[in-house]
Amino acid sequence: MNILVTGGAGYIGSHTLVELYKAGHTAVVVDNLCNSNPESLRRVEAILNDEIGNSNPTDIKFKIPFYRTDIRDREGLEHLFAEHRFDACIHFAGLKAVGESVQKPWEYYENNISGTLVLLDVMRRHCCKNIIFSSSATVYGDPAEIPITERCSKGLCTNPYGWTKSMLEQVLVDIQKADPEWNVVLLRYFNPVGAHPSGRIGENPNGIPNNLMPYITQVAVGKRPQLGIFGNDYPTPDGTGVRDFIHVVDLAAAHVAALQCFAPDFEYRNANFIYNIGTGNGYSVLDMVNAFVRVNGVPVPYTIMPRRPGDIATCYCDPSKAKTELGWRAKFGIEDMVRDSWRWQRQNPEGYPDGDGL
Ligand code: NAD
Ligand code: UD1
């Protein structure tokens, strides 16, 4: 298939490009680079050349078409659709910093919701009605049951970022109901971590990381003095928060598996296409820190801090629906996650080089 990948220069998008091409698909990337660097795309091409291309390094086989376009720019998208025919869209583009969304709710609703509405309109005008949407475990709020299944009802989000995901799920479900030509796949990611095993692409957060794993790697590499662990008095085995961490390469592979939903003879066509994408294992914050230190042999000093507002104690999923229907399951374990996160950080202490080079 030829896939439009919005937000393809970002963390999950870049890893998904690798898996798409490895599975024989092609892609076109649209990204406004507000939170990414096009160097990621060059590195994706280099990985593909090494993994499946010609061994002659001067023979660049993979060139991923890239459009530096904002998905809110209707004319830009029209231009893109005039030049390419797409079988489906994998829609990653969006702002994702939870804390920032509390400070700038208008910007989050405008970017994520208006952007998606423009994208959907241009898609339908060009008869491309297959979409995979990056949703999040955050839509479950404080979940009614653990492990979380897709039958679990959605909950109250604690921040505007989470609401954009929850609202966009609803928009997509309603559009599909009104026009059954649409195929809408909602992938609810749990906690993506790790990096491509080559260490060439990975997560490149701006400023102080919000999430646990980039914070750990930045402490390990000496960029930050210590990790703050937000609370050790949760009702969990060691008192720290428990999450379903998933290796980003597994997550990327889930998108390739989800493309099956668009086949007219897909066995589960009459069901909904909502899938939890996690491992089904809950690891605590201390489990992650201890595994990181053990596997990588580098110290990660930490201190216990007060709980972070909005955090829940435990969040992990039952991923069996994705296994049964898509034949997908996570293959990487906690040791792979901490090893690959560290390889990326160690090889790229400052992330991708400055300047977009375009
Ligand atoms: P990321 O910030 O690395 O990638 C998102 C990309 O979208 C960036 O390259 C950014 O430049 C681009 N973008 C943002 N707004 C845009 C716009 N208006 N037009 C064009 N491009 C735009 O984030 P990621 O971690 O790769 O996440 C990808 C998607 O998955 C996001 O929608 C995110 O909300 C969702 N998600 C991420 C996580 C996570 O922990 N990383 C968890 C659940 C869901
Ligand atoms: C957060 C977001 C969620 C988003 C997800 C992936 C909140 C409330 N939720 O999930 O909406 O989908 O990221 O982007 O922000 N921790 C520390 N110290 C740190 C950072 C984190 O102890 O410096 C702890 C947290 O308290 C939590 C665990 O590590 O227990 C995981 O945190 P994080 O990586 O931020 O992910 P979530 O909070 O699960």
Q: Is 66 helix (H, G, I), strand (E, B) or coil?
A: strand
Atom of ligand 2 nearest to the CA of 227: 23
The label of the residue with tokens 């002659």 reads 56
Which is higher by pLDDT, 49 or 57?
49
Within a 13 Å sphere around the CA of 343, how many CA atoms are in the beta-carbon half?
A: 16
Of all protein residues, the one whose alpha carbon is nearest to atom 13 of ligand 2 is 211
The yes-or-no verdict on residue 327 having pLDDT over 90 is yes
CA distances from 187 to 102, 241, 264, 266, 322 (A): 24, 23, 20, 17, 10
In this prediction, what percent of the chain has a pLDDT beyond 90? 91
321 lines ligand 1 (CB under 6 A): no
Strands (E), the chain: 2-6, 26-31, 66-68, 88-91, 130-136, 183-189, 191-193, 227-230, 242-243, 245-247, 274-277, 283-284, 302-305, 314-315
pLDDT digits (tens, 9 = 90+) for 280-294: 999 999 999 999 999
Atom of ligand 2 nearest to the CA of 230: 22
What spatial distance separates the first Cα and last Cα of the chain, rounded to whole Å?
28
Q: How close is the Cα of 328 to the center of ligand 2, in Å?
A: 25
Fill in the DSSP letter of residue 8: T
Q: How confident is the model at residue 271 (pLDDT cuts 50, 70, 90)?
A: confident
Query: To the nearest whole number, what is the mean pLDDT of the chain?
Result: 95
pLDDT on residue 62: 82
How many residues are present in the chain?
Answer: 358
The yes-or-no verdict on residue 258 having pLDDT over 70 is yes
Strand order, beta sheet including 314-315: 283-284, 242-243, 314-315
Q: Which residues are catalytic?
A: 161
pLDDT on residue 358: 40
Q: Is 229 helix (H, G, I), strand (E, B) or coil?
A: strand
71 lines ligand 1 (CB under 6 A): yes
The mean per-residue pLDDT over the stretch 137-141 comes to 96
pLDDT on residue 143: 93
Of all protein residues, the one whose alpha carbon is nearest to atom 16 of ligand 2 is 212
pLDDT on residue 253: 98
Among residues 1, 36, 275, the alpha carbon closest in space to that of 14 is found at 36
pLDDT on residue 353: 87
113 lines ligand 1 (CB under 6 A): no
Ligand nearest to the CA of 169: 1
pLDDT digits (tens, 9 = 90+) for 63-107: 999 999 999 999 999 999 999 999 999 999 999 999 999 999 999
pLDDT on residue 206: 85
CB atoms within 10 A of CB 62: 18
CA distances from 332 to 246, 284, 329 (A): 8, 17, 9
pLDDT digits (tens, 9 = 90+) for 191-221: 999 999 999 999 988 889 999 999 999 999 9
190 lines ligand 1 (CB under 6 A): no
Residue 191 phi, psi (nearest 5): -110, 95
Q: How confident is the model at residue 269 (pLDDT cuts 50, 70, 90)?
A: confident
Distance CA 139, CA 133 (A): 13
188 lines ligand 2 (CB under 6 A): no
Residue 313 phi, psi (nearest 5): -70, -55
pLDDT on residue 57: 59
Of all protein residues, the one whose alpha carbon is nearest to atom 27 of ligand 2 is 241
pLDDT digits (tens, 9 = 90+) for 64-74: 999 999 999 99
